[in-house]
Structure 1
């Protein structure tokens, strides 16, 4: 399949999802399709073609530390230990060492029932912690397309990203990835807002993009900072593609009914881990911390915990 055929196929998938492509109305009026505009000898690269390079951003380690985010040069800390406890079962599933095989185990979504429960904080720290593994690379995707938070956490301007890669079949993934000065960690911004974001995240184009993300690096873990499950529809659409979901629950705030409804919304995901954030009781001798539990086809009750309260 040549470059024009690939672009035409991608465009047709987007049309079936009901997505109106930029400039398509004008092109239709003139009898010219977006794919045809590429023409013979087109130079716009597709996945795996051309010599497009991602942009590099330098994260300020001092600012990250001030905001409670892990850095590779951090001294051993309670937060670091917590992330090790939380990431280990996720990585075991990726390696096929869990209780049962997990399809697409390297696709991990971090979400919550409601806003303000700490999902972005969890996603950022978990991504950096996994990037510190000797044999893993990490792509952190800002999939909270309505309210992106990673630009503020990591200190970069809003850029083209996920939604642009889904709507523009000529845009190579490398053109929107941001490499960082944390070895083995890259970031994919949310991208340009789109009124049909839910349909885009549920589309065949999303399936192809995920396959492209995973194919480029065999050791890559892809972590998605997702919207909250109970206030948007994007998170439910995204969950359909995931192998593992981490549900962040704010202690003494999120109700049992809200947690139950959130879990029901991701029922199709093979593995669901619940992480309790901002605990205020004394667990295992600590005053604050994360508690967690995980299972296959269900969210297990928390049976272990670590320390340190985090937003």
Structure 2
């Protein structure tokens, strides 16, 4: 039995014990031996330094998303009502939102910052990141900022039909661009997007810079009702994913069920050891017992 099958079976057992109404487990793994503080090399805010880094974070431009096109690609859309995909992502987002705003947030630094990643390319991390953002933004009292941090192979803008525009890289490398200049509002209330921006040979250094750390810190505290979702590079394809994981409070590891090698999953999990909360989404799973289902949800321990 593969490691993914074992995790799925464990998730199903937990689901039965809690009389869940869906076919997916809604539990999350949290390091219980000790809560690790996420402490990259970031200068602390103080006085005037903090004021210099403040941004309004209100988008200056609005882009129109083609919801019919997204729906044909299997994404959650505002007009969907109780479809299977919606129910699945309701279940997936539940522990994340609880950790961000509920009792589960206690002891989790930057709990409203969520990184979505995978072990290798092609497992569905961007699909998961976008659907998660859309599902949370559908809630009336939640705002979501979706940041395409997969700067080497950006997919968020292309998937959403957003034309090329300055993004995260331009903000990080420039002293003349404010963060508000790279935020795009959408025709979905509560959802804003930051594109990856241009290709840059020093993108890894920019993502590990103090400026990125300061941005993450401010994003986590600026608005109490906002969730920030980063679509990250795969952990085994680039070092950028591991760098970004140290800046957030929660990580979602997307695993292609029945396909990703156990050794790859374990190597990816090891890279997430410093993270407070790690959840797994089993994508393209055929063992859920639901016709046409492509998603599963489970828990993972280091």
TM range, normalised to the smaller chain?
0.7 to 0.9
Match of 1:291 among 290, 293, 296: 296
Give the secondary structure class of the aligned counterpart of 1:252: coil
How far apart are the structure 1 equivalents of 2:243 and 2:282? 24
Match of 1:24 in 2: none
Match of 1:142 in 2: 148
Structure 1 residue 115 and structure 2 residue 124: aligned? Answer: no
Asked whether the equivalents of residues 114 and 230 of structure 1 are also in contact (C-alpha less than 8 Å), the reply is: yes
Structure 1 residue 48 and structure 2 residue 58: aligned? Answer: no
Please provide the CA RMSD for this pair.
2.2
CA shift, 1:169, in A, is 2.1
Give the secondary structure class of the aligned counterpart of 1:279: coil
Structure 1 residue 191 and structure 2 residue 191: aligned? Answer: no
Range moving further from structure 2, 242-251 or 150-159: 150-159
Q: 1:255 to 1:69 in 2, by over 3 A?
A: same
Q: Which runs of 5+ in 1 are unaligned?
A: 1-12, 15-44, 300-311
Q: How many residues align?
A: 253
Q: 1:136 to 1:170 in 2, by over 3 A?
A: same
Matches within 5 A, 1:155-304: 155-281=161-287, 283-286=288-291, 288-294=293-299, 298=301
Q: Which runs of 5+ in 2 are unaligned?
A: 1-40, 43-51
Higher RCO (C-alpha under 8 Å, 6+ residues apart)? 2
Match of 2:93 in 1: 87
Give the secondary structure class of the aligned counterpart of 1:140: strand
How far apart are the structure 2 equivalents of 1:136 and 1:212? 18
CA shift, 1:229, in A, is 0.6
Range moving further from structure 2, 197-206 or 82-91: 197-206
CA shift, 1:284, in A, is 4.5
Structure 1 residue 74 and structure 2 residue 62: aligned? Answer: no
- CA distances 1:232-254 after superposition (whole Å, capped 9, x unpaired): 11111111101100000001110
CA shift, 1:194, in A, is 1.5
CA shift, 1:288, in A, is 3.0
Give the secondary structure class of the aligned counterpart of 1:108: strand
CA radius of gyration, larger in: 1
How far apart are the structure 1 equivalents of 2:280 and 2:257? 12
How far apart are the structure 2 equivalents of 1:52 and 1:114? 34
Give the secondary structure class of the aligned counterpart of 2:284: strand
CA shift, 1:262, in A, is 0.5
